[in-house]
């Protein structure tokens, strides 16, 4: 089994602020796990006794609202640490984490994390910086959802998917969400998303092939986002 000390993923998250010794301890207690598309890594309300470091795949972090719909708060992929907020706050999970692409993760028991937090200020500050960034992102999402139209938000979501997950050789988005997941990201009804995607197709802004989506005209997308 691979050792954390040699793990490249580490470079992308706060674990890089751990000392050699701390990493060794983490490595000794960690457990590799895999999750298939659709599997839950954890669910809202679960007590987490550790965090999950994503080595491969993608997970959606969502929260069930009182009207029965899921709201996707974030998409997490390689390098992200899941469950950190709950472990630090010593609360049960406020979000569910469901795999939307087969995942390869390391489970790290919370003891190593909490101990390092309490003894290594570098690590604590590194985690703090990450959380500060998440918080700013959340603020931006709040503004977007409440001040932009559904069409603008969907256009933004495509740009987001391109920028964060990239495109394959043929220009198709590496990560294609179902219309329903897309709706849960932007906070709207599935039918609305379908209609707007159809409209984008008719206008030559995007193109689909099977369930893959290719962005054809970024300037037009930007125009939609700007709301003109």
Partner DNA sequence: ACCGAAACCTGACAATTGTCATATTTTTAA
Partner DNA sequence: TTAAAAATATGACAATTGTCAGGTTTCGGT
In whole angstroms, the minimum distance from the beta carbon of 2 to DNA comes to 28
In whole angstroms, the minimum distance from the beta carbon of 77 to its own copies comes to 19
Binding residue for DNA, selected from 150, 167, 207, 214, defined by CB under 7 A:
150
Binding residue for DNA, selected from 19, 32, 178, 223, defined by CB under 7 A:
178
Q: Which of its own copies, DNA, none has residue 195 at its interface (CB below 5 to 8 Å by kind)?
A: DNA
Q: Which of DNA, its own copies, none has residue 203 at its interface (CB below 5 to 8 Å by kind)?
A: none
| Residue 30 · residue 107 · CB < 8 Å | yes
| Minimum CB distance to its own copies smaller for 55 or for 112 | 112
Q: How many residues bind DNA (CB under 7 A)?
A: 20
Q: What are phi and psi of 122, to 5 degrees?
A: -60, -45
- Nearest-CA neighbor of 165 among 74, 44, 53, 86? 74
**For the chain, counts of helices (H) and of strands (E):** 8, 8
85-120: string of b/e by CB count within 10 Å (b at 16+)? bbbbeeeebebbbbbbbebbbbbbebebbeebbeeb
Binding stretches for its own copies (CB under 8 A):
63, 65-67, 69, 71, 73, 85, 88-89, 91, 94-95, 117-122, 124-125, 127-129, 131-136, 138-148, 186-188, 226-227
| Residue 102 · residue 54 · CB < 8 Å | no
| Interface with DNA (CB under 7 A) | 149-151, 178-180, 187-192, 194-195, 197-198, 201, 208, 210-211
């Amino acid at each position: 089994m691979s050792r954390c000390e040699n793990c490249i993923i580490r470079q992308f998250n706060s674990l890089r602020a751990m000392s050699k010794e701390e990493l060794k301890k983490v490595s000794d207690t960690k457990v590799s796990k895999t999750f298939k598309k659709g599997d839950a890594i954890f669910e809202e309300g679960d007590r987490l006794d550790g965090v999950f470091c994503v080595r491969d795949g993608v997970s959606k972090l969502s929260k069930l609202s009182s009207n029965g719909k899921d709201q996707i708060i974030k998409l997490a992929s390689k390098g992200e640490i899941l469950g950190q907020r709950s472990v630090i706050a010593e609360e049960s999970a406020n979000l569910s984490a469901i795999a939307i692409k087969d995942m390869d993760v390391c489970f790290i028991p919370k003891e190593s994390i909490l101990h390092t937090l309490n003894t290594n200020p570098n690590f604590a500050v590194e985690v703090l910086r990450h959380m500060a960034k998440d918080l700013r992102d959340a603020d931006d999402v709040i503004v977007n959802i409440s001040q932009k139209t559904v069409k603008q938000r969907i256009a933004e979501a495509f740009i987001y998917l391109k920028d964060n997950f990239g495109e394959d050789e043929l220009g198709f988005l590496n990560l294609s969400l179902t219309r329903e997941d897309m709706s849960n990201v932007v906070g709207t009804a599935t039918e609305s998303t379908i209609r707007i995607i159809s409209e984008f197709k008719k206008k030559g802004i995007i193109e689909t092939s099977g369930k893959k989506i290719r962005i054809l005209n970024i300037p037009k997308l930007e125009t939609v986002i700007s709301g003109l």
